[in-house]
Amino acid sequence: MIFQWYSADSAAVHPLLVVMLALAIDVAIGDPPRLWARIPHPVVLFGRLVTFLDRKLNRKQRSDRARFWRGLMATITLVTVAGFIGHTIQWLCMQIAHGWIAGAFIASVLIAYRSLFNHVRAVADGLEKSLENGRNAVCHIVGRDPDSLDEPGVARAAIESAAENFSDGVAAPIIWFALLGLPGLFAYKAVNTLDSMIGYRNSDYEHFGKFAARLDDALNAVPARITGILFVIVAAISAGTRGRDAWSAAVRDAEKHRSINAGWPEAAMAGALGIALAGPRQYGDITINDAWMNNGGRKNVTFSDIHRALALYQRTGAGLAALLLLAMTFA
C-alpha cells in the first residue's frame, strides 16, 4: 500500500480500515437520492467535464491522428484534475481529528455496491410483473436497445451488468482506493467515466476515445480477474452454485468476450449459475455478434435467475470484505 492515512495527531491509520469503512458505509447507505437531488454527484461532474472536452476538442473535420491526440490530452486533463481534487480532499481530511472517517464517507460515494444491487433487483422485480416493466428497469443500467430484448434478454442483461459492474463499480474502486487513497480512487472513476462516455468504437469516438478506453482496460485488468476468481470461490462454497463450472467457463470463455476484462466476471457468473450470458446483442442500429459465455448453459434465463445472481453478488461482497479483513490482519 502506497498511500498512508494519518489523523490530525499524526497517528497512522491502516489504509484497509479506511477502505472497509467506506465499503460498509456504501452497503448501509448507498447513494441517498435526496442528497444528489440537491448537489451533483462527483461522477456527474466528471461527466460534464467530459462533455465539455468532447465538444471543444472532438471536431469531425479534424484528422484521425489529431482527434486521437486531443482525446489523449482530454483524458490526461480530466484524470489529473480528478487526482488533484482527491489529493486535496485527502489532505484536508488528515488535518482534522478522525478525518479518516470523513475520507471513508467521501470514498463510499464512489463505490457502487448498493446502487448496483438496487438497480439490478429492480429489473428482477419489474420482469416478474411484465416484460415491459423489465425493459423499463433494465434501460437504466445497460446501453442496448430494450425494445429488442425478450424476457431472457432482459434477464441476461441485468445479470451481465451485475457481474461486470461488480468489477468496475466495486472491486476496482476498492483496489485503487487501497493502493493510492482518494487521489487514486478519484482518478480511476474519472477514467471509468471517460470510457463510459467516449470509449466507443464508432465514427465519433474510434480515435478520440481510444486512449481513454485502453487506459480503462489497463486499470480494470487485475480487478476483473480478481472478481472472476471471487465468483468462483464463493460459488464453490455456496449452495445452489457451481464453483467448478464457474472456473471452467472463465478459463474457457473469458478471452472470447469482446471486452478483454468483462469476460472474466461474466463467464464466471454464467458458469456458477449454469446459464449462458453475453451472445449477440443490439445497440441501437448496431448488432454485436458477441460470443456466448458458458455456451452450454441454459439460455432461457428468467427473473428468478436474476435473484440467484444477486445472492451470489451479495455473498461475493461479503467475501471481498473478509479478504480485506484478512489482508489488514496480516499486512
Tell me the C-alpha distance between 250 and 253, whole Å: 6
**pLDDT tens-digit series, residues 169-207:** 999 999 999 999 999 999 999 999 999 999 888 888 999
Structural domain total, the chain? 1
Residue 75: in which H helix or E strand, if any?
helix 64-93
Q: Judge contact between 274 and 299, C-beta under 8 A.
A: no
Instruction: Please give the residue range of the domain that contains residue 145.
Output: 5-330
Q: Which three cell numbers stand for residue 15?
A: 489504509
Q: Which three cell numbers stand for residue 197?
A: 462516455
Q: Give the global pTM.
A: 0.93
Concatenating the DSSP letter of every residue in 144-200 gives S-GGG--HHHHHHHHHHHHHHHHIIIIIHHHHHHHHHHHHHHHHHHHHHHHHHHH--
pLDDT of residue 34: 83
**pLDDT tens-digit series, residues 223-282:** 999 999 999 999 999 988 999 999 999 999 999 998 999 999 999 999 999 999 998 876
Tell me the C-alpha distance between 180 and 175, whole Å: 9
Q: Which three cell numbers stand for residue 130?
A: 411484465
**Cα 128 to the chain's mean position, in Å?**
26
Tell me the C-alpha distance between 268 and 293, whole Å: 8
Report, as ranges of residue numbers, the positions in the chain whose pLDDT lies below 50.
none
